[in-house]
Amino acid sequence: MRVPPYALLAIAIVAEVIATSALRASEGFSRWLPAAVVVLGYGVAFYCLSLTLKTIPVGIVYAIWSGAGIVLISLVALVLYRQVPDLPAIIGLGLIISGVVVLNLFSKMQAH
């Protein structure tokens, strides 16, 4: 069964957000379980990310991956660590989302 590239990208994003969340919990890799989640999560994220690059241009992949990751990790930080974004942070996150949308809807970037 072939997994669609955007599904692989979604898996990569979720795995990266989980790994980044566990990074804080690992306390400098001094706690083995969160540290293992970090290593496994980043491994899955980069493996799936590499598979998407077979069919989607790298600029598009990276824009979606990094943009979605930033927004999702900000939501995780809000929920888990009570890190409430201020107005400039909210504006910045909105600009990131807008940039990814513009890139995907209007860019003529093609894979070569």
pLDDT in tens, 48-98: 999 999 999 898 999 999 999 999 999 999 999 999 999 999 999 999 999
Q: Is residue 112 a part of any domain in this protein? A: no
Give the integer Cα–Cα distance in Å for 5 and 74.
Answer: 25
Q: Domain tally for the chain? A: 1
pLDDT tens-place string over residues 23-43: 989 999 999 999 999 999 999
Short-list 41, 51, 67, CA closest to 5:
51
Count of Cβ atoms closer than 10 Å to residue 104 Cβ: 13
Q: Is residue 111 a part of any domain in this protein? A: no
Short-list 72, 62, 80, CA closest to 9:
62
Give the domain range for residue 14.
5-106
Query: Considering the entire predicted model, what is its pTM?
Result: 0.87
Structure tokens at 21: 């969340």
Give the integer Cα–Cα distance in Å for 110 and 112.
Answer: 6
